[in-house]
Amino acid sequence: MIVFTIGTAEPFDRLVEVADAVAETCQERVIVQAGRSRCSLDRAEVVDFLAYDELVALVSEARVVVAHAGAGSALLALSKGKRPVLVPRLPRHTEAVDDHQVHFGRRLAEVGLAIFVEEPGKLPALLRALSDEETRPRPPERPLGLALRAHLVDLLGPPTRSVAGQA
């Protein structure tokens, strides 16, 4: 089973629209948590919103998790031992105000925690070719917390003050 989740914010039709092609190409069940999307799909199963426990159960069961490149969706997939395929919302498509999801998704891919795909049209072939091994996160060179902290420092700069004696 392949699970698509786009978060709960704005529609992400560019990602939702490709789910039918994924269902046809991969010949497996595709469930799309589509939020406020305006897409109508024929092959993929669509739900607007899921209770958190339901989403967790689907992510746990999925062979592949495809998500917008938001931190919550990525971390949920990782917490269930899945290496998510992340597709960023892009400002040029009026899906986001800036490229923060591009930076976040690329960084997770660089450390082996995600697969980053900027163009949803590439998903059907990619998902069909993914082995079970490729859908599991690679152990980062350093612990996940340190890897994510380093990424935040890269994006935001070093902390300016210490908290409880730690930088």
Note the residue count of the chain.
167
pLDDT at 139: 61
- Non-local CB neighbours of 73 within 8 Å, separated by 6+ positions: 5, 7, 65, 67, 84, 86
Q: What is the pTM of this model?
A: 0.81
Taking residue 44's Cβ as centre, other Cβ atoms within 10 Å add up to: 22
Q: What is the pLDDT of residues 128-148, one digit of tens each?
A: 988 777 777 766 555 556 666
Joined together, the tokens standing for residue 156 give 């935001």
Specify burial of residue 82 (Cβ count, 10 A radius: 0-12, 13-18, 19+). Answer: buried
Q: Judge whether 127 and 2 are in contact, CB under 8 Å.
A: yes
Q: Has residue 157 got a pLDDT over 60?
A: yes
User: Residue 4 has which token pair?
Assistant: 């698509």
User: pLDDT tens for residues 91-127?
Assistant: 787 777 777 899 999 999 988 899 999 999 999 999 9
In one letter, which amino acid is 123? L
Q: How far apart are CA 78 and CA 81, in angstroms?
A: 5
**pLDDT for the residue 161:** 59
How does 149-163 read in b/e, with b if 16+ C-beta sit within 10 Å?
eebeeeeeeeeeeee
Per the DSSP assignment, residues forming a β-bridge with 47 are: 33
Q: Which domains, ranges and CATH numbers included, belong to the chain?
A: 2-140 (3.40.50.2000)
